[in-house]
Structure 1
Amino acid sequence: MPPLTFAAAFSVSLIGAVIQAVCGFGYGPVNMSLLPYLFPYAQAVALSGLCGSTTAVFVAASSFRYIRWKTVLPCALTALVFAALSVQLSAGAADGFMVRSLGAALVALGVYSIFFSGRLRIRPTPRNGTIAGALAGALSGLFSVGGPPMALYLLAATDSNDEYRASLNAHFCFTACITTFMRWRNGAFTAATIRAYGLVLVSLLLGAWIGGKIFRRLDPKRLRLLVYGYLIASGLLMLFK
């Protein structure tokens, strides 16, 4: 990996890990705003998914006692099915089409986070959990950005910030199993992907540690506003690439 490519991948991975540790999600969207410019699309999605799941394991393990298993498991099981189908669907898609589709998804995620994340509330029912899991699984499989649907649901289904963050990352651990397996089966995990993952692994550890330190000191809403404003701009650039 060229030094400049490594520096860019390391930096965005570090930022994504910090954001996920603070906000509960965000690694995938932040990284997928840059990685498609550094790697072929399939490799970028595979790398982002693998790194994001590693960060989720770190966060979930550090707050294991707060996980609401009865809430997470039905959503995760639904997400597994839709994630597997979405990975298979995206395997043969053209890079240009997927990059523009990702741009549209990033714009939508940014608009949602800035204008609606504090206003929309859904009832924590099994049916709504199933719908959220299906949407999260589809977005995870297609673009490695499955956080917002589950974040919206778990904000209503949990009783504290700790439960929300821990449960959300536990959900990511489940979906990561199937998306990683399906991408490996479809050939996305090349030797270059594994090397890139090994090189940025330190950034995941460092980012999760930093994010954990500032979790209780930084207002997540303000951080999301900055991050998703950036994602809207990045998504618009991808749409017209």
Structure 2
Amino acid sequence: MDSMIIEIFLLSIGASFVQRTTGFGFGIFIMTMLPAIMSSHGEATTLSGILAMTTSLIIVIQKYRFIVWRRLLPILLTFIVVSIGAIFVLKRMEYSILNILLGITLVVVSIYFSFFSKRIKVKTTLPVQITAGTLSGLMGGFFGMQGPPAVLYFVNSEKDKEHYLAVTQTYFLVGNIMMTIARAYNGFFTTTVSMGYIYGITGVVIGNLIGAWVFRHITGSLLKYIIYAYIGISGLTFLFEASHS
């Protein structure tokens, strides 16, 4: 039990730091190891979700004045519908093939955006928002890692890093609230998850404070490349897990 407390605490610091610095990645970071600590994948995604939700809440309180709702609501509503549907079929999922396909996709997307980001102009049209929301919903519902599709949209559609951080964290906050309700309905919100949250919340606060300091010293252009690199890392993580499953 003592080792579990320490592991969740340290993972929460790292995940919260990544989320506060890049605007996403809490689930990607913590879910590389959390399923091995928790008794089920569903419990792991639930704990990841409520800890990430707390991280996002802290940021939203700080950045709410930068939220532009007309660019947020279509992708957010799409995400909620798709992710809840994915959670309800979670118990019947086979992960290995999906992990491989998802990992390859994320690596390719990361490389493409890294080299061609200056030529990419993401329009805030309804089809683009619905597509990003659908992909994000599938990743969030199945893997607790809804960040990459939404982040690629927001980082290329928002005018500066403050607006980017505000809309991404509002997106993750509302999305994680809805997914937590769906997971609780499906029996994934257990006593173990509640205890894990108590262990991790202090780590969330610490990681958030460190990440906030780093974020202040990152330029908008550098932030984009950090995000693209981390998406690539997350793809490699999926492939690594698939090869060892």
TM-score, normalising length: structure 1? 0.88
Q: Give the direction of change, closer, same or farther, for the CA distance of 1:225–1:77 in structure 2 (3 Å limit).
A: closer
Matched with 1:105 is 102
> Partners of 1:16 and 1:105 in 2: how far apart?
21
Q: 1:41: Cα distance to partner?
A: 1.0
Superposition pairs of residues 168-179 of structure 1, within 5 angstroms: 168-179=168-179
Is residue 220 from structure 1 mapped to residue 223 from structure 2 by the alignment?
yes
Structure 2 equivalent of residue 207 of structure 1 = 207
**Residues 11-160 of structure 1: matches in 2 within 5 Å?**
11-39=10-38, 40-93=40-93, 97-98=94-95, 101-102=98-99, 105-106=102-103, 108-117=105-114, 119=117, 120-160=120-160
The alpha-carbon deviation at position 112 of structure 1 amounts to 3.0
User: Secondary structure in 1 aligned to 2:14?
Assistant: helix
Consecutive aligned runs of 4 or more in structure 1 exceeding 4 Å deviation: 221-230
Give the 3-state SS of the residue equivalent to 1:79 in structure 2. helix
Secondary structure class of the residue paired with 2:189: coil
Q: Quick one: which amino acid aligns to residue 20 of structure 1?
A: Q
Judged with a 3 Å threshold, the aligned counterparts in structure 2 of structure 1 residues 11 and 100 are, in CA distance, closer, same or farther, namely farther
CA-CA distance at 1:141 after TM superposition: 0.8
- TM-score, L = length of structure 2: 0.87
- Quote how far apart the aligned CAs of 1:113 are: 3.1
Deviation, structure 1 residue 107:
5.4
Letter in 1 for 2:37: L
Amino acid in the other structure paired with 1:175? G
Amino acid at match of 1:116: F
Q: Per-residue displacement from partner, 1:158-211 (whole Å, max 9, x unpaired)?
A: 111110111011111121122101100000011011100111011111111211
**Cα separation, 2, equivalents of 1:222 and 1:7:** 32
C-alpha RMSD of matched pairs (Å): 2.2
Please say if residues 80 and 137 of structure 2, whose CA atoms lie closer than 8 Å, have aligned partners that are also in contact.
yes
Aligned to 2:243: 240
State how many pairs are aligned.
237
SS of 1:91's equivalent in the other structure is helix
**SS state at 1:37 partner:** helix
What stretches of structure 2 of length at least 5 have no aligned partner? none
Q: Which moved more, 1:230-239 or 1:180-189?
A: 230-239
